[in-house]
């Protein structure tokens, strides 16, 4: 026969007033000590506050049905055990009495018996590497194998017959209860991972529901797999990947800085060559200078490619979204390429479908760059026949359209096995071609990455001797709000947004610290009849503006003493008092995205990238 329940009585203050012999047997406290003691000493300290609150709330109710609950109880000797409490409340106010009938919970006898019969299986389970445990539906361990004891560093006697909610329990974390619940509710096994303290092993635990032959759930079976090696490998790998990515970014930043440093002296070489070409020269001298000019431009292309590629790789490149005219963009991008096509006697054709929206929103500069690269390659690798740019609408969407650009040539073609490699940096279809046609092998790598950044894709179809077709799809905005202020495609690139240019000849102040660059700018401007004053930092520029009137200031951004941003801000402040406004155009070798915005935000009106292009300079000054 089961032992009688322990009966405990307490008053409104939570002091024990009644204590049966069974209570002494269950909790270990003799009657003399128990009576007068606070009743919450019968449960573990961590639960006392919560228990006191629950009791107070029970007492405050008007009705007092018997409250049955399962709790962890605390024996006088400090061990914890699961018990069922049936709590009833009588009377109210100071006369309130709480009577609790307490019964220790034990493992489910029938389930336990069922597991005891399987001695052979238990012996087998002791041989396996993975930990294994069986817990009945009340949370009592019925079985643990040797590996389980090893993993958690606990002897079997401390576990079997004990409840998993006990503090000593190794897998007593908050989620266990939730997970048991979910396995019970859904019948679906659950696997999860955690780290065991203090062994620091990572364990993958799978819990599933064991059923009796009638399909009734009877226990939870858990398998514990030591996954420390995998976890450590994963962490090492993640660390290594991060380090590699950081190193790659650092390399790209280095490249970006280096190409910036190269662009500054290039400015001097290109500018001085242009000036020299304008002087009286012998035929031989001018041939040499023209070669220098062409070579300098090729070098600049390489530097620009490296700079672009490293900007993309170091994630410094941002894609704009501004309205622009597609037809203008096509015209602008084809014009410079027709020269090369004409020289080679091949036809350069464009076919823009009638349903292509005239104005779209996107990044015109980058779109132009991708298409220029594809068409440039097509012209380069075609000896006879034609190169055609086709523009069509692939899909019309709400507020956007997916456009398809196809560059079709009748050139040498590319073998199928090279179709992937040509999009990799520094890889070319055929090494011998480089000698024939030149190039860095960066063009398509940049174009395909730019296409991706714009949310598009470049694909190639080609075979040797059969020509090539490069296909580029990209989705561009067409909604009215995007297109509020359409602009010419080129205006987003270099100079002069807003404000008409100066009348000829103009009074120009050049603020630039590099002597060579001073001479280049002054020389190019003087050639057009402008009056040029040169100063070498921001402070001198302000002084010059105080002393005389200028139509335009060409302002280097990086200067010693006072840089271009500071100087511009100071000039704009001065002008507020005077009510006049001089045009300020920035000159910078920092060809990074965001620079243009920074210059405009600082109060400048335009932006010129160094090395200064003669045409762009005149456009900026003369507008």
Contact residues for ligand ADP (CB under 6 A)?
Answer: 373, 377-378, 381, 409, 411-412, 414, 422, 428-430, 433, 439-445, 468
Q: Which residues contact 62 (CB under 8 A, 6 or more apart)?
A: none
CB of 447 to ligand ADP, least distance (A): 7
Tokens 């520094």 sit on residue? 426
Q: Which residues pair with 189 in a beta bridge?
A: none
Question: Helix/strand/coil (H, E, C) string of 315-364?
Answer: CCCCCCCEEEEHHHHHHHHHHHHHHHHHHCCCEEEEEECCCCCCEEEECH
CB of 441 to ligand ADP, least distance (A): 4
Question: Helix/strand/coil (H, E, C) string of 41-66?
Answer: HHCCHHHHHHHHHHHHHHHHCCCCCC
Check whether the bond before 140 is cis (ω within 30° of 0). Answer: no
Task: With H, G, I as helix, E, B as strand and everything else as coil, classify residue 535.
Answer: strand
Count of Cβ atoms closer than 10 Å to residue 68 Cβ: 11
CB of 450 to ligand ADP, least distance (A): 12
Tokens 């109880």 sit on residue? 73
Quick one: 71 or 306, whose CB is closer to ligand ADP?
306
- Residues 262/301, Cβ–Cβ less than 8 Å: no
The DSSP call for residue 492 is G
CB of 427 to ligand ADP, least distance (A): 7
Task: With H, G, I as helix, E, B as strand and everything else as coil, classify residue 575.
Answer: helix
Tokens coding 65: 């049905």
Q: Beta strand pairing status for 131-136 and 217-226?
A: antiparallel
CA neighbor of 539 nearest in space, from 567, 573, 574: 567
Q: Which residues contact 348 (CB under 8 A, 6 or more apart)?
A: 334, 337, 338, 341, 375, 379, 386, 387, 388
Report which secondary-structure segment, H or E, holds 540: helix 538-547
Cα 441-445-448 angle, rounded to 5 deg: 145
Q: How many CA atoms lie within 13 A of 572 on its CB side?
A: 14
Quick one: 45 or 343, whose CB is closer to ligand ADP?
343
Report which secondary-structure segment, H or E, holds 226: strand 217-226
Cβ-count burial 202-226 (b if 16+ within 10 Å, e if not): bbbbebbbbeeeeeeebbbbbbbbb
Cβ-count burial 296-308 (b if 16+ within 10 Å, e if not): beeebeebbbbbb
- Residues 311/317, Cβ–Cβ less than 8 Å: yes
Cβ-count burial 333-343 (b if 16+ within 10 Å, e if not): bbeebeeebee
End-to-end CA distance of the chain: 107
Quick one: 166 or 409, whose CB is closer to ligand ADP?
409
- Residues 17/35, Cβ–Cβ less than 8 Å: yes
Quick one: 48 or 418, whose CB is closer to ligand ADP?
418
Task: With H, G, I as helix, E, B as strand and everything else as coil, classify residue 153.
Answer: coil
CB of 589 to ligand ADP, least distance (A): 23
- Residues 256/311, Cβ–Cβ less than 8 Å: yes
How is the chain split among helix, strand and coil, in percent rounded to 5?
45, 25, 30
| Residue 448 to residues 278, 442, 473, Cα–Cα distance (Å) | 40, 10, 11
Quick one: 445 or 620, whose CB is closer to ligand ADP?
445
For the CA atoms of the chain, what is the radius of gyration? Answer: 41
Tokens coding 605: 């009106």
CB of 414 to ligand ADP, least distance (A): 5
């Amino acid at each position: 026969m089961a032992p009688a329940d322990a009966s405990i009585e307490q008053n409104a203050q939570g002091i024990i007033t009644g204590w049966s012999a069974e209570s002494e047997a269950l909790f270990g406290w003799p009657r003399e000590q128990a009576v007068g003691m606070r009743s919450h000493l019968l449960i573990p300290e961590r639960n006392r506050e919560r228990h006191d609150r629950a009791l107070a709330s029970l007492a405050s109710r008007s009705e007092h049905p018997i409250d049955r609950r399962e709790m962890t109880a605390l024996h006088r000797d400090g061990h914890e055990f699961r018990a069922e409490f049936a709590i009833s409340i009588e009377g109210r106010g100071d006369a309130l009495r709480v009577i609790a009938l307490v019964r220790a919970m034990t493992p489910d006898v029938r389930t336990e018996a069922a597991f005891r019969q399987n001695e052979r299986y238990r012996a087998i389970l002791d041989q396996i590497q993975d930990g294994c445990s069986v817990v009945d539906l009340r949370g009592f361990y019925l079985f643990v194998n040797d590996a389980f004891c090893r993993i958690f560093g606990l002897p079997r006697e401390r576990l079997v017959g004990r409840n998993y909610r006990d503090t000593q329990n190794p897998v007593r974390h908050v989620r266990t209860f939730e997970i048991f619940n979910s396995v019970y509710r859904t019948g679906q096994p659950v696997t999860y991972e955690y780290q065991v303290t203090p062994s620091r092993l990572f364990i993958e635990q799978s819990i599933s529901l064991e059923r009796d032959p009638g399909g009734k759930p009877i226990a939870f079976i858990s398998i514990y797999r030591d996954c420390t090696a995998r976890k450590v490998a994963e962490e090492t790998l993640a660390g290594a990947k991060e380090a590699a990515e950081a190193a790659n970014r650092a390399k790209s930043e280095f490249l970006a800085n280096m190409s910036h440093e190269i662009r500054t002296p290039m400015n001097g070489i290109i500018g001085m060559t242009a000036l020299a070409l304008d002087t009286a020269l012998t035929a031989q001298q001018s041939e040499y200078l023209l070669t220098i000019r062409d070579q300098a431009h090729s070098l600049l292309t390489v530097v620009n490619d490296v700079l672009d590629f490293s900007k993309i790789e170091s994630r410094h490149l941002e894609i704009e979204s501004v309205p622009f005219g597609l037809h203008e963009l096509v015209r602008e991008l084809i014009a410079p390429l027709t020269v090369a096509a004409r020289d080679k006697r091949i036809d350069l054709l464009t076919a823009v479908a009638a349903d292509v929206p005239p104005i779209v929103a996107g990044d015109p500069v980058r779109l132009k760059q991708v298409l220029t690269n594809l068409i440039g390659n097509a012209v380069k690798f075609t000896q006879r026949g034609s190169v055609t740019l086709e523009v069509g609408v692939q899909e019309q969407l709400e507020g956007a359209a997916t456009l398809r650009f196809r560059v079709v040539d009748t050139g040498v073609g590319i073998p199928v096995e090279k179709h992937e490699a040509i999009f990799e940096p520094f890889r070319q279809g055929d090494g011998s071609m480089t000698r024939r046609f030149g190039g860095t092998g960066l063009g398509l790598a940049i174009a395909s990455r730019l296409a991706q950044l714009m949310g598009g894709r470049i694909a190639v179809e080609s075979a040797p001797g059969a020509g090539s077709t490069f296909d580029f799809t990209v989705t561009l905005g067409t909604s009215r709000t995007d297109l509020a202020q359409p602009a010419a495609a080129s205006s987003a690139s270099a100079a002069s947004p807003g404000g008409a240019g100066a009348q000829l000849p103009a009074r120009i102040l050049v603020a630039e610290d590099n002597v060579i660059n001073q001479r280049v700018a002054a020389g190019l401007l003087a050639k057009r009849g402008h009056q040029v004053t040169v100063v070498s930092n921001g402070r001198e520029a302000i002084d010059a503006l105080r002393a005389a009137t200028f139509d335009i200031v060409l302002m280097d951004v990086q200067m010693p003493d006072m840089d271009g941003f500071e100087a511009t801000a100071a000039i704009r402040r001065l002008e507020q008092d005077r009510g006049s406004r001089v045009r300020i155009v920035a000159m910078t070798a920092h060809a990074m995205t965001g620079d243009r915005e920074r210059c405009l935000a600082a109060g400048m009106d335009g932006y010129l990238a160094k090395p200064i292009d003669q045409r762009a300079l005149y456009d900026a000054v003369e507008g």
